[in-house]
Amino acid sequence: MLTNNALVTYTDLTTMLVPITGLTPPTGNQIATKSFIDTYYRVDTASSPYSTYSANRCPPYQTIQPQVLPYLACWNITILPYSELNCQGNYNSFETWQISLLDQYGNAYFTDQNYSFNIGYDYTWQSDIPPYSESGSNVTTVNISPGQWQGFASFTIYAVETCPYSSACDGSCFSTNTNITELTNTTGVPGGCALPTPATITYFVPNAFIPESSNPAVNVVRIYKVINSTAIELVYSNYPNMTWVFATGGFVPYSGNNSVYVPWNGRLNNSGMLSSSTAYGYSFALNDGSGTIITGAILLLR
């Protein structure tokens, strides 16, 4: 008989929901809280009863509903201008046109087919060698291939090398001007939507703790992962090779090497005498392949 109230693990979620773009959710047999699900996955947060749960609630699987799967909603143009000095000290100017495909959530949409965008432009070009001058209209095609979400095209907006010749130049004299006239696409979807905001991940350790406090939030040294301004405590079992050390004036009351961190409770090796009330420098190396090392100082209060 199937159960209706089974809780889900981190690994269970990987087969149920789509991760938020830019994040790689942890896996394992830990039971997922609502906070964990909201942080890492595209879930329907407005559905009931899921919307009524507190952050530390562990939702049963049947109350967890996915958001609508991503689809191509729109495309965006970003023009990146730049300039450089040429061999005669004149400024040449250029533009790179960046075309991005986005889904309905404003995230990068990695297409499974080819999309083409045509950028039309007028140009003039004049040289000291035949045919001396040229002007006309042209089209550059930007293709976004399967597995990609962006395409690029670069244009010389203005460039000049004047005569007489300079020993710093390549021996040619020319000038060129480009005027972008239009952009057309074959996607059949609208343009002009906002670019995605990449996920930002930082780490945070409070600047003080009180070992003798009855409040579990402040009586040990906890590490927090901050994802797009949302802080959740690190799931220490996901970092089985962490290395850490606390020290003050050459005294090391707590350290660990290539193991799962147990939050420091202020005592010598987490079981001996309570350490002195002072500031302790700390260093945490996650050793998860990211190269992340968290350093700082924390004040032990008594």
**Distance, CA of 245 to CA of 103 (rounded, Å):** 44
pLDDT at 241 over 70: yes
Q: What confidence category does residue 51 fall into, taking pLDDT thresholds of 50, 70 and 90?
A: confident
pLDDT at site 174 = 74
**The pLDDT value given to residue 19:** 86
Say yes or no to pLDDT of 44 above 70. yes
Give CA–CA dist 18/166, Å, rounded.
Answer: 60
Q: Which of 11-25, 160-174, 178-192 has the lowest mean pLDDT?
A: 160-174
Q: What average pLDDT does the structure give for the chain?
A: 85
Q: Is the sign of the CA dihedral 240, 204, 108, 15 positive or negative? A: positive
User: Is the pLDDT at 42 greater than 60, yes or no?
Assistant: yes
Asked if 255 and 244 count as a contact pair (C-beta separation under 8 A), the reply is yes
- Determine the pLDDT at residue 23: 79
Count Cβ atoms below 10 Å from residue 224 Cβ, excluding itself: 15
* Region at 249 (left for phi over 0; alpha for psi -120 to 50; beta for the rest): left
Strand 133-144 and strand 150-161: the pairing is unpaired
pLDDT band of residue 1 (cuts 50, 70, 90) is very low
Instruction: Answer yes or no: is pLDDT of 187 > 70.
Output: no
**Tens digit of pLDDT for each residue in 70-112?**
778 888 888 888 888 777 777 889 899 999 998 877 788 888 8
The DSSP result for 180-196, as a single string, is: EEEEEESS-S-B-PPPP
Does residue 106 contact residue 70 with C-beta atoms inside 8 Å? no
Phi, psi dihedrals of residue 23, rounded to the nearest 5° = -115, 145
- CA-based nearest residue to 185, from 111, 122, 80: 111
- Model-level pTM greater than 0.75? no
| 249 contacts 259 by C-beta, under 8 angstroms | no
- Cα angle for residues 68, 72, 74 (degrees, 5° grid): 120
From the list 258, 270, 264, 269, the residue with the least C-alpha distance to 299 is 264
Compute the half-sphere exposure of residue 147: CA atoms within 13 Å on the CB side of its CA. 0
Residues in the chain: 302
Question: Is the pLDDT reported for residue 168 higher than 70?
Answer: no
- Residues 262-297: tens digit of each pLDDT: 999 999 999 989 999 999 999 999 988 778 899 999
CA dihedral 10, 15, 16, 21 (to 10 degrees): 80
Q: How far apart are CA 268 and CA 270, in angstroms?
A: 5
Does residue 69 register a pLDDT over 80?
no
CA–CA separation, 149 vs 127, rounded Å? 38
Distance CA 241, CA 227 (A): 22
Query: What is the distance between the alpha carbons of residues 286 and 243, in angstroms, rounded to a whole number?
Result: 7
| Domains, the chain, ordered by start | 10-63 (no CATH), 72-185 (no CATH), 201-300 (2.60.40)
